[in-house]
Structure 1
Amino acid sequence: MKKSFKRLGLGVLAGVLLVGLAACGGSKDGKAGEGKTDFKGDTLKIGVWGGNEAEEKSLDELIKNFETETGAKVDKKVYTDYNTQMQTDLVGKTAPDVFYVDASMYPFFQSQGALAPLDKKEFESDKFYSTLIDTFSTDGEMYAAPKDFSTLALYLNTEIFEKTGVSVDEVPASYEEMVTWLPGFQEKIDKAYGKGKVSAMSYNPEMSRNLHIAQRDGGAIEDKDGRSTLSDKKVVDNFSILNDLVATKGFVTPQDIGAGWNGEAFGTGKLAMMEEGNWVYQNLNNDYKDIKYTVKPMQTYKGEKGSMMFSVGWGKYSGTKQSDLADKWIKYVTGKEGMELWVTGTGTLPSREDVAESAKIADNKDMKVHLDAWEYATPWQKGVSLTTIDNAFKNFVPKALDGSMSMEEAMKKADEQANADIDAGK
């Protein structure tokens, strides 16, 4: 369910959106028709991005059930370049009545007035994991209801461990300890499989995987004005662990070993360990059935647990003229019945605690690791400049990790690029 979004001209569009949304036909809070209950003949337009087969099937089932219950028609619009096209529709006042809101893009959509507030009591916010409600709230107001979430966890190929004579219980609990442990483990792997055949562990040089590291000890990648602060001393110090891990020669990217992503590298037996989201679980079970694995929490760093959390919410367009029908849709798909249908069909984690209990997610020991991470995982979200900062980080952190620049130099260059892009968009 995690999506990678391309940010194209957000700064330029921001000013247009502020003007355009102020002139929207609907009321400011999206409440065009108070208390309407008869929806026969009405049409609700929903905006989504394309999902996998299971997600498409589950969404279509939700739509069918909703149409049967309400007598309304649901018009599904599937976007291919979601955020760019959604912004175009917002400017043109043709946005869907309800639409997907990725946590990373929530600050932008909310700041531009594109989302109508949702009453927390009416939408049962107390039933959801608190971290997720906070992710889609501003100044105490909730602007999207989280439909599901994912977290990162550590996957271990038990067959590789057995062949090297190492127990999965020997894997250190902290990144700091991994620095001294990985070289020996990689030597044993090389002895068992041949040098260059299998690597100990993978990493991804993306901020979406490393924000939890960047923010240890109060590190910040963005200031209150939305400018990049990757060269902050605390951030640079935090990222030093990546240099130390890469230096072990057992810490590689999937691309370093000829794979497109972690799941492929792990599934083809090229990795002993990977940090990945629960979306990989069904992929491994369906496409790589011969791989035997177990799932554990990720290593601690500087004495604290860490992971990343990714979530998507259903938001209501502030200019909708189908406010009550939009509310009814969001209540259904994020309610107990609708969410049970969704998570059962898609294998995603429910954002409601009562659904996690009724769906017996914790009975699956691997999924329980992902579920439990909600308490300490860092949401993939900052301010409106997150995508720009992420792009700069991805451009320069490889130079720090291959030794062509120090981490401090690389992050200064990343700041320069990010802030130039941010300023150009104002």
Structure 2
Amino acid sequence: MSRKKWIATLGLSTMLIAGALTGCSDKEEGTASKPAKDGAEQVEITLAGWGSSPEEAELLKQVLVDFETSHPNIKVKHEVIADQYMDVIKTRLIGGEGPDVFYLDAFEAPGLIETGVLEPLEDHTPDDFDVEDFEKPLLEAFQKDGVTYGYPKGYSTLALFYNKKMFEEAGVQVPTTWDELREVSKALTKGQDVYGFGQNPELARTMFIAESKGGEVVVDDKANYADAKVVEALQPYVDQALVDKTAAQSNQVGAGWTGEMFGQGKAAMVIEGNWAIPYIENTFPDIEFGTAEVPTIDGEKGTMAFTVAYVMNAASEKKAAAAELITYLTGKEGMETWTSKGFELPSRKSVAEKLGYDQDELRGSLVAGAPYATVWTKGVNLPIILTNFNNQFVSAYLGERPLNEALAEAQETANKEIDNQ
């Protein structure tokens, strides 16, 4: 993607807010160097990210305090961008006012890497950083042509959540294959009151299914989901709702998302991420549930993974300090503190093992999926590709048109939009 095209995607509204934003330059922040305790000059760098829960905010605050204690010559200014995070980041980068270090979702990584605004990290990290300790798919999401532009700070995969009481009453076992899931759903469904399986008919949740028969959703940065192999892979997912009538999406039962659908007892199974565990435990404490790895398709394991990295602004004038921060935050010590409460899973295998998440009753299945997960990222045009997929896939899911026709239209529309950028 050209820099011109990337700038154009921001839209006028995002450009208008640039003047109201503060940047990370010394002039803007008033961060003129000052003496540290040992007489060396203290450097202030800016770390930008989006908002989080109060509990997560406290964890990050603690990690930053620990970093500053061990690095007295570096002060970190933490900036929370509450709304339109990526638009704000892109606007500031264009204007030369970007933060030194910032969050980057894997979904957005290919487009930002393409523009050249991110600093390659290999030369800035020490030899003992142990890059091999990261779960490989997560690290690869922030690489291009063998160059690493971000280190993942954490992640979640998807796992099968199941209601233990419903399974016991129906006398069925937790499915390990997708065919078993479909059959078990029949025994668990009770008309329109309880569905065996709560579904998410969107690309972010089904891409690993779509590619399970050997097809590819994206080829050469173009939509490819009209491919017969992709249609074949997705058809059983749709048929479970339309033919078996043992599956439904959350809004069909008055729930906001599948976690709520599951907690309300309107679905015996859902496929959700780590974020659903504290939500269900806190919101629906009476629900007894377990998790398992996502059932296999044709004998092959599959799931999705969602991850965010710390990246460095290539225009930063404080690269050494920024590198120290990224190294600490994604190193074993900083990551252990950050993930200690289980809100996010450690992207380092050693930290997951040290904290016991790989053996955890509920999180173990999520950790087990990391090595084979399909990360939610797929080239620079994924935003266009997914929007058109979701619009048409839902129409097929609701029985308004055949799946192959819906995906053919979605592909044609998406690729026209890509060509016209």
The amino acid across from 1:46 in the alignment is L
The amino acid across from 1:161 in the alignment is F
Name the residue aligned to 1:30.
Answer: none
Q: CA deviation at 1:346?
A: 4.6
The 3-state SS of whatever aligns with 1:314 is strand
Quick one: structure 1 residues 179 and 282, their matched pair in 2 at CA, closer, same or farther if it must change by over 3 Å? closer
Q: CA deviation at 1:121?
A: 5.8
Quick one: structure 1 residues 58 and 40, their matched pair in 2 at CA, closer, same or farther if it must change by over 3 Å? farther
Question: Which of the numbers 153, 168, 184 marks the counterpart of 1:147?
Answer: 153
Q: C-alpha distance in 1, partners of 2:198/2:402?
A: 21
| 1:322 aligns to 2:328 (yes or no) | no
The amino acid across from 2:165 in the alignment is E
The 3-state SS of whatever aligns with 2:197 is strand
List gaps (5 residues or longer) in structure 1: 1-8, 15-24, 27-36
Q: Which runs of 4+ in 1 moved over 4 A?
A: 37-40
Q: C-alpha distance in 2, partners of 1:182/1:48?
A: 40
Quick one: structure 1 residues 296 and 39, their matched pair in 2 at CA, closer, same or farther if it must change by over 3 Å? farther
Q: 1:47-196 counterparts in 2 under 5 A? A: 47-71=48-72, 72-79=74-81, 80-119=83-122, 122=127, 123-162=129-168, 164-167=169-172, 169=173, 171-186=174-189, 190=190, 195-196=191-192
Name the residue aligned to 2:400.
Answer: 404
Q: Contact 2:251–2:257 (CA<8 Å) still a contact in 1? A: yes
Q: Deviations over 1:277-327 (max 9, x none)?
A: 011111122221111011111111122111101111111111111101100
Question: Which of the numbers 214, 217, 230 marks the counterpart of 2:213?
Answer: 217
The 3-state SS of whatever aligns with 1:273 is strand
Q: C-alpha distance in 1, partners of 2:161/2:407?
A: 30
Name the residue aligned to 2:251.
Answer: 255
Quick one: structure 1 residues 108 and 211, their matched pair in 2 at CA, closer, same or farther if it must change by over 3 Å? same
Q: C-alpha distance in 1, partners of 2:304/2:76?
A: 33
Q: Deviations over 1:326-353 (max 9, x none)?
A: 0000111111110010001353211111
Which structure has more relative contact order (CA 8 Å, sep 6+)? It is: 1
Name the residue aligned to 1:234.
Answer: 229
List gaps (5 residues or longer) in structure 2: 11-23, 26-37
TM-score normalised over the length of structure 2:
0.87
Q: C-alpha distance in 2, partners of 1:356/1:172?
A: 26
Q: C-alpha distance in 1, partners of 2:184/2:69?
A: 58
Q: C-alpha distance in 2, partners of 1:42/1:66?
A: 13
Give the number of aligned pairs: 387
Q: C-alpha distance in 2, partners of 1:309/1:113?
A: 25
Q: C-alpha distance in 1, partners of 2:361/2:393?
A: 35
Q: C-alpha distance in 2, partners of 1:176/1:399?
A: 24
Q: Contact 1:40–1:70 (CA<8 Å) still a contact in 2? A: no
Q: Contact 1:389–1:418 (CA<8 Å) still a contact in 2? A: yes
Q: CA deviation at 1:410?
A: 0.3
Question: Which of the numbers 230, 235, 244 marks the counterpart of 2:239?
Answer: 244
Cα RMSD (Å) = 2.2
Q: C-alpha distance in 1, partners of 2:101/2:362?
A: 33
The 3-state SS of whatever aligns with 1:234 is helix
Q: Deviations over 1:203-257 (max 9, x none)?
A: 1111110110111233112221x22112112111211122221121111101111
Q: C-alpha distance in 2, partners of 1:397/1:10?
A: 27
The 3-state SS of whatever aligns with 1:381 is coil
